[in-house]
Amino acid sequence: MTTVTMMLLYSGKQLSPLFIKSAGVKKSLMTVLPLLSSIRGFGQPAAQTHPHLVAEGEVTPGLTKKEFHQRRCSLVRSALETFKGMKSVNDHLFIIPSATTVYMINEIPYPFRQNTDFLYFCGFQEPDSLLLIEAKTSKSVSTGEHESHLFVPRKDAAKELWDGPRSGAAGAMELTGVDTAFNSGEIEKYLQFYNSKHKDFVLWYNHSKPVHTDFHNRIISQLMHDHRHKYLENVSELCQRLRLLKSPAEIQLMQQSAKIASEAFVEVMKFSKPQVNEAHLWAKMDFECRLRGAEFLAYPPVVAGGARANIIHYITNNQVIAGGEMVLMDAGCEFHGYASDITRTWPVSGHFTEPQRKLYNATLRVQEACIRMCTTEFSLDDIYNHMLVLLAAELTQLGIISPDCSYDQRLNLARQFCPHHVSHYLGMDVHDTSSVSRKIKLQPNMVVTVEPGIYIPEDNYKVSLEFRGMGIRIEDNILVTETEPVNLSASCPKRVEDIESIMSNR
């Protein structure tokens, strides 16, 4: 079998004999390869092309077509619930656009990251696409029954030669299991048609923060204009409420994301030594996460040696860390669309000094107490308020807060020594579902972070010299259940003995 025939069989598509003949076997490889992939390839990993990542029946690794369909049904059900009693409105149109490619300079793109809500409801990874969902209150309010349409970039041999295969409309249907797919050039016509056919309908669209400026300015704002006396609802808050509770498959992905980052942290701890550069610890973290299957780091990590740990969002990561100093690293990875977000603080020499150990253990006790509160009894704000009480007590114990201060003064000081919240929701985004209030009680299948810190600026002369310039944060990823909280990042060491033991066995 010649290479060309083998490739044809692999591609699963017959080419005309005329084409094969005229291509000429010898000089054909360069021309045939891109053509073949443009016929059969997808714009993202699929079971057919990446069996090591995607199983049969899955859209993205670990998530099936059925799960994506159920998500769309849940969206429709919860949206229509609010219009249940209103007989006058029956039709609902949901518009969820994808992200677009952002360029740093001409022709050089930033790494593409899909719009999270779009990804959540269809799993399609290409830019400049759009998901439309049509539903009727009379039919869908209890079942979530709907029609889903995906608009995607059209197949384009010239573009695909440069950027790799696109799925095209047929590929997008096959890949995601939506009801129909069209080229994105059809969006305008489709919306005009829908608007002309439906007198009254509810438009569900994130109009306050359009994610795709071109679609918004060119097409969707026109629809909103034509539709201006009718119902316009922001779909984003609804999406976030659904994303807040993770399915069993999502929990597995989050567990894996946290495990990968935890293992990578151990390698970074072993790799650190006096005079190590922050940039090298960053590179090591990135390397170890990718080696374990993560796509990339979930956010620019904080790798802050010494007093730089007091800069909460320090991401410059270009200093040399001296022997006696600790390093604070806040890093996590993205694994098949799900983020981990872990922070550890450790001495680069491998041994905590006495003041470091005291401040570290105070932070750890507060963190462990806060983790125990991740139950359905409390909200994230409840845990934050309790963290301030615990921090105030620990700081008083250490002599950092004077025992002469009143209770309120001590809480205020605790707030100064830890100027950030103790937690946020975690999921597909690092700061996940940020429109969901932190005042609501936790529910089973939420994932949250727990991340108290103590930061003592170098120039805080009120604090004894031994603690000045130290910044410590300890952060884990916690799954809320019906019973005990589950620490997804439990395999990332945080006890002083465990860290010292890992680092002594380098």
Please report how many Cα atoms fall inside a 13 Å half-sphere around the Cα of residue 96, on the Cβ side: 27
Q: How far apart are CA 395 and CA 116, in angstroms?
A: 40
Q: In this complex, which beta carbon is closest to Mn ion, that of residue 317 or of residue 449?
A: 449
The residue with its CB nearest to Mn ion is 341
**DSSP code for 247:** P
Q: Which of 306, 319, 349 is nearest to 467 (CA)?
A: 306
CB of 258 to Mn ion, least distance (A): 12
The CA–CA distances, whole Å, from 80 to 43, 73, 220, 265 equal: 33, 11, 22, 45
Partners of residue 91 on adjacent β-strands: 136, 201
* Residue in this structure with the two tokens 């139950």, named with its chain if needed: 375
Task: Name the residue nearer to Mn ion (CB basis): 233 or 432.
Answer: 432
SS (H, E, C) 401-419: CCCCCCHHHHHHHHHHHCC
Task: Please list every residue from 439 through 468 that binds Mn ion, using CB under 5 A.
Answer: 449
Instruction: Calculate ∠ Cα 414-418-419, nearest 5°.
Output: 110
Query: Minimum distance from CB of 115 to Mn ion (Å)?
Result: 21
The helices-and-strands tally (H runs, E runs) of the chain is 18, 23
CA 89 to CA 232: how far, in whole Å? 12
Smallest distance, Mn ion to C-beta of residue 298, A: 10
Q: Which is nearer to Mn ion, 91 or 475 (by Cβ)?
A: 475
CB of 235 to Mn ion, least distance (A): 26
CB-CB neighbours of 430 under 10 Å: 17
SS3 for 2? coil
Q: Which is nearer to Mn ion, 429 or 500 (CB)?
A: 429
Q: How far is the CB of 464 from Mn ion (least distance, A)?
A: 29
Cβ-based neighbour number of residue 344 at 10 Å: 25
- What is the spatial distance between Cα 414 and Cα 401, in angstroms, rounded to a whole number? 8
Least CB distance to Mn ion at residue 449 (A): 4
Residues of span 336-375 touching Mn ion by CB under 5 A: 341
Give the rounded distance of the alpha carbon of 150 from its chain centre.
22
Q: Any alpha helices (H) in 177-320, and if so which ranges?
A: 187-197, 213-215, 221-226, 236-244, 248-271, 278-291
Tell me how far apart the alpha carbons of residues 368 and 386 are, in angstroms, rounded to a whole number. Answer: 12
In angstroms, give the least distance from the CB of 476 to Mn ion.
10
Rounded CA-CA distance 284/297 in Å is: 11
Residue 134 as a binder of Mn ion (CB under 5 A): the answer is no
In this structure, the number of other CB atoms found within 10 A of the CB of residue 105 comes to 6
Residue 3 or residue 434: which is nearer to Mn ion going by CB?
A: 434
Q: How far is the CB of 381 from Mn ion (least distance, A)?
A: 16
Closer of 450 and 463 to Mn ion (Cβ): 450
Closest to Mn ion by CB, 137 vs 489, is 489
Q: Return the amino acid letter for 207.
A: H
String marking each residue 304-343 x if it binds Mn ion according to CB under 5 A: -------------------------------------x--
Q: Which of residues 230-289 bind Mn ion (CB under 5 A)?
A: none
Q: Using DSSP bridges, classify how beta strands 326-331 and 342-347 pair: parallel, antiparallel or unpaired.
A: antiparallel
Minimum distance between the CB of residue 330 and Mn ion, rounded to whole angstroms?
A: 7
Q: In the complex, what is the shortest distance from the CB of residue 424 to Mn ion, in angstroms, rounded to a whole number? A: 6
Which residue from 30, 29, 31, 37 is spatially nearest to 3, judged by alpha carbons?
A: 29
C-beta closer to Mn ion: residue 176 or 449: 449
Q: Which residue spans within 417-490 are E strands per DSSP?
A: 447-450, 453-455, 471-473, 476-479, 486-487
Cβ at position 148, least distance to Mn ion in Å: 33
Question: Whose Cβ is closer to Mn ion: residue 40's or residue 113's?
Answer: 113
Q: Which residue, 239 or 331, is less far from Mn ion as judged by CB?
A: 331
| Closest distance to Mn ion from the beta carbon of 432 (Å) | 10
Residue type, 352: F
Q: Give the end-to-end CA distance of the chain in Å, rounded to a whole number.
A: 52
Q: Of 125 and 449, which has the nearer Cβ to Mn ion?
A: 449
What is the maximal distance between C-alpha atoms in the chain?
A: 92
Collapsing DSSP to helix, strand or coil, 262 comes out as helix
Q: Which is nearer to Mn ion, 204 or 425 (CB)?
A: 425
In angstroms, give the least distance from the CB of 426 to Mn ion. Answer: 7
- Smaller CB separation from Mn ion, 126 or 429: 429
State the pairing for strand pair 338-339/58-60. Answer: unpaired
Binding-residue total with Mn ion (CB under 5 A): 2
Binding site for Mn ion (CB under 5 A): 341, 449
